[in-house]
Amino acid sequence: METRKLGNSGLEVSALGMGCMGLSFGYGPATDKLQGIKLIREAHEQGVTFFDTAEAYGIANEELVGEALAPFRKEVVIATKFGFKEGNSTLGMDSRPERIRAVAEESLRRLKTDVIDLFYQHRVDPNVPIEDVAGTVKELIQEGKVKHFGLSEAGVESIRRAHAIQPVTALQSEYSIWWREPELKTLPTLEELGIGFVPFSPLGRGFLTGAITENTQFDSTDFRNSLPRFNDENRKANQKLVDLLAVIASQKKATPAQIALGWLLAQKPWIVPIPGTTKSHRLTENIGGASVELSISDIQEIDEAFAKTNVKGDRYPAHIQSSIEK
């Protein structure tokens, strides 16, 4: 697989990374540990060098990633995150300097490593100045415990203020064919500052693969049950987006997921999507998306077609949506 550099930082990773959250958290029962290790190692064998986890995905997720990547630790880039009270996303934010340091030590231990390659603030904490957050990570970098600083779902003002204290290597936020808001302010700011972009949910939390329909029943513990965009009515309305992707995919001898990933990769050379999966065949399919070549006219055709559609449903419930910076 080809590699990409995240902005001006010099951090080089595979063009597609692997989001590991779903192996343990968010999408129903956790994957069997041995199966999770096998899948992560399969990703590495197929050229993936960039793996994403977080304290908030549970202790088991970081431990799984650490154990899976231990045999070839020096060949890969591991990203993890801090920023929630007690590592629990339902308890609110906590990016106090002492908490950041404690999370770093815990993550180093769980990941079986002596350095965190990319350490993200998971969400901006309104109670802690972003300068204090950036300054703390800067100290961790100087101490050799962290290599690069990242932000997740941060607004442009916070990005600028943090970047002035400690250069931000990457911003991680949701971005896909059906969530285009980063194009308004975020992408121009990242390009100006030389910061890489790591889109999570590049396949619309699975919807853009075509595997989810209005009749799909999610496990009771799957957080998509709480997302407005995934209620039955909105899934039915949004099906035309997937049908459109399928038509384009058939023309390109690809799958809808591969077109969705190829579209993202074609936007900017410093964008590195991190699709996640629990299935080996989906992993191989996703990796195939890095080889899809879309011309300028292809991109234009896709954008024009999607401009005529109207995605139904917010991406988060109102109480979560209101806490995310614009």
Quick check: 326 pLDDT over 80?
no
* Structure-token pair, residue 297: 């006219």
Whether 326 maps to a domain, the answer reads: no
Question: Do residues 144 and 115 lie in contact, with contact meaning Cβ atoms separated by under 8 Å?
Answer: yes
Across all residues in the chain, what is the average pLDDT? Answer: 95
What pLDDT score does 319 carry? 77
Whether 22 maps to a domain, the answer reads: yes
Read off the CATH number of the domain in which 249 is found: 3.20.20.100
Residue of 27, 57, 120, 175 with catalytic role: 57
Quick check: 30 pLDDT over 80?
yes
Place 323 in a pLDDT band, splitting at 50, 70 and 90. Answer: confident
What pLDDT score does 316 carry? 86
Place 182 in a pLDDT band, splitting at 50, 70 and 90. Answer: very high
Structurally, how many domains does the chain consist of?
Answer: 1
Question: Do residues 281 and 17 lie in contact, with contact meaning Cβ atoms separated by under 8 Å?
Answer: no
Whether 274 maps to a domain, the answer reads: yes
Residue-wise pLDDT for 40-54, tens only, equals 999 999 999 999 999
Residue-wise pLDDT for 280-291, tens only, equals 999 999 999 999
Place 305 in a pLDDT band, splitting at 50, 70 and 90. Answer: confident
Residue-wise pLDDT for 236-256, tens only, equals 989 988 998 999 999 999 999
216-218-219 Cα angle (round to 5)? 150
φ, ψ (nearest 5 deg) of residue 172: -110, 125
Question: Do residues 224 and 209 lie in contact, with contact meaning Cβ atoms separated by under 8 Å?
Answer: no
What pLDDT score does 14 carry? 98
Identify the weakest region by mean pLDDT among 143-147, 150-154, 235-239.
235-239
What pLDDT score does 205 carry? 94
Quick check: 265 pLDDT over 90?
yes
Residue 308: which domain range?
3-321
201-150-38 Cα angle (round to 5)? 50
Quick check: 320 pLDDT over 90?
no
Place 307 in a pLDDT band, splitting at 50, 70 and 90. Answer: confident
Query: How far is the C-alpha of 215 from the C-alpha of 217, rounded, in Å?
Result: 6
User: What is the percent of the chain where pLDDT is above 90?
Assistant: 87
What pLDDT score does 129 carry? 98
Taking the model in full, what pTM does it have? Answer: 0.96
What's the mean pLDDT in 317-326? 77
What pLDDT score does 241 carry? 87
What's the mean pLDDT in 288-303? 92
Quick check: 318 pLDDT over 90?
no
Residue-wise pLDDT for 195-231, tens only, equals 999 999 999 999 999 999 888 999 999 999 999 999 9
- 57: annotated active-site residue: yes
What's the mean pLDDT in 99-118? 98
Question: Do residues 37 and 1 lie in contact, with contact meaning Cβ atoms separated by under 8 Å?
Answer: no
